């Protein structure tokens, strides 16, 4: 655990995670929100603890709740579920677990690519990564007018 988190005088689990309410606010201070690897959220599938997909799901809830808190509006809660897992197995294959089913091979690589790019923050990121992967990791070259081609 990060030494800063260890030094905080807030309620923690025996593993050093900050205990948060269903709104992602700390039990001891409603002005502070915590999520991701430092937070213990009881209503999350146990296999999600410490994973990026839990932080990804929590980010939207935290952002909305901070905005609502600052506006004096009602905060929301959410139940977080396993979205699946995907792992690259070299340049041609991958393995994907989704909906309780596992599959692998080239189709899984395409599914992993789709999942990965869908979660990138902007369309520019998605376009750059997509082009890079489409061209097998090489930088796409600009098209030259017909008279200038080598």
User: What are the extents of the domains in the chain?
Assistant: 3-71, 85-134
**For residue 100, what is the DSSP state?**
T
* H-helix or E-strand spanning residue 112: helix 106-118
Distance CA 13, CA 40 (A): 7
Residue 55 sits at the vertex; the CA angle it makes with 130 and 18, to the nearest 5 degrees, is 160
Average pLDDT over residues 95-110: 83
pLDDT of residue 50: 61
pLDDT at 144 > cutoff 50:
no
pLDDT, one tens digit per residue, over 49-90 is 666 777 888 899 999 999 999 999 999 998 877 777 777 887
Contacts 24+ apart (CB under 8 A), 134-138: 136/91, 137/91
Distance CA 36, CA 56 (A): 8
| Number of neighbours of residue 72 by Cβ within 10 angstroms | 6
The better pLDDT of the pair 30, 141 is held by: 30
pLDDT of residue 72: 96
Sign of CA dihedral 140, 141, 143, 149: negative
pLDDT of residue 47: 56
Name the residue with tokens 């017909």: 146
End-to-end alpha-carbon separation of the chain, Å?
A: 57
Query: Widest CA span of the chain, in angstroms?
Result: 71
- Token reading at 129: 């990564």
The structure's pTM equals: 0.64
pLDDT, one tens digit per residue, over 5-57 is 889 999 998 888 898 999 999 988 999 999 888 888 776 655 566 667 778 88
């Amino acid at each position: 655990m990060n030494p800063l988190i260890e030094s905080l005088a807030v309620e923690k689990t025996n593993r050093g995670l900050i205990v948060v309410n269903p709104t992602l606010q700390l039990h001891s201070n409603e002005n502070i929100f915590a999520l991701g690897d430092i937070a213990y959220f009881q209503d999350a599938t146990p296999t999600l603890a410490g994973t990026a997909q839990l932080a990804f799901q929590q980010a939207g809830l935290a952002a909305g709740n901070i905005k609502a808190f600052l506006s004096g509006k009602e905060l929301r809660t959410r139940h977080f579920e396993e979205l699946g897992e995907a792992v690259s197995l070299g340049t041609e294959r991958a393995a994907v677990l989704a909906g309780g089913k596992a599959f692998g091979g080239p189709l899984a690589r395409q599914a992993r690519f789709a999942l990965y790019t869908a979660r990138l923050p902007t369309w520019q990121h998605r376009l750059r990564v997509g082009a890079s992967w489409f061209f097998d990791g090489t930088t796409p070259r600009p098209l030259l007018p017909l008279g200038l081609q080598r």
